[in-house]
Amino acid sequence: MVTVIDGQDAILGRLASIVAERIMDGEEIIVVNAEKVVVTGTKEVVFAKYKHRLELGEVKRRKGPFYPRRADLLFKRTVKGMIPRYTTTGRDAYRNLRAFVGIPEEYSQTEKEKPEFAMRKISGKYTTLGAVSKYLGSNIR
């Protein structure tokens, strides 16, 4: 069974932990609107953190770690850090996760789930994965 989750206004860490737990249970998860997932913290601190991660992997020397720039791949990388990806169960579970920027046509008519735990009210400063992606230089807006 495929579950479609709408990431709009969901907090990144909370949504990623829910998704990681469910894919480890064998469920296939599709996350839409990944660019609208919220990252809490001041914009300058969040941008500096992701910029530092991006600079860790030197592409010219072909050494990692390689961090993505696109919003959907940033979300998948967050989930990847929450599962045991070096085991066969973790690798198989990671294959059950798909994330999209926006809503593809094939999932536009399906019912979308919004986890309550990830939808808590944000009282402080925040930014979105789309803004982080744009700052890092992604071509997909």
Helix (H, G, I), strand (E, B) or coil at 127: strand
* Residue 141 falls inside a structural domain: no
CA 87 distance to own-chain centroid = 21
Output the CA angle 13-74-105, nearest 5 degrees: 100
Q: What is the mean pLDDT of each run of 10 residues along the chain (141 residues)?
A: 92 95 96 94 94 81 82 95 93 95 93 89 88 88 56
pLDDT of residue 7: 93
> Which residue segment(s) compose the domain that 89 sits in?
2-136
pLDDT of residue 66: 81
DSSP state of 55: H
Residue 120 region, left (φ>0) first, then alpha (ψ -120 to 50), else beta? beta
Task: Report the CATH number at residue 95.
Answer: 3.90.1180.10
Model confidence pTM above 0.85: yes
Please tell me the total count of domains within the chain: 1
pLDDT of residue 59: 66
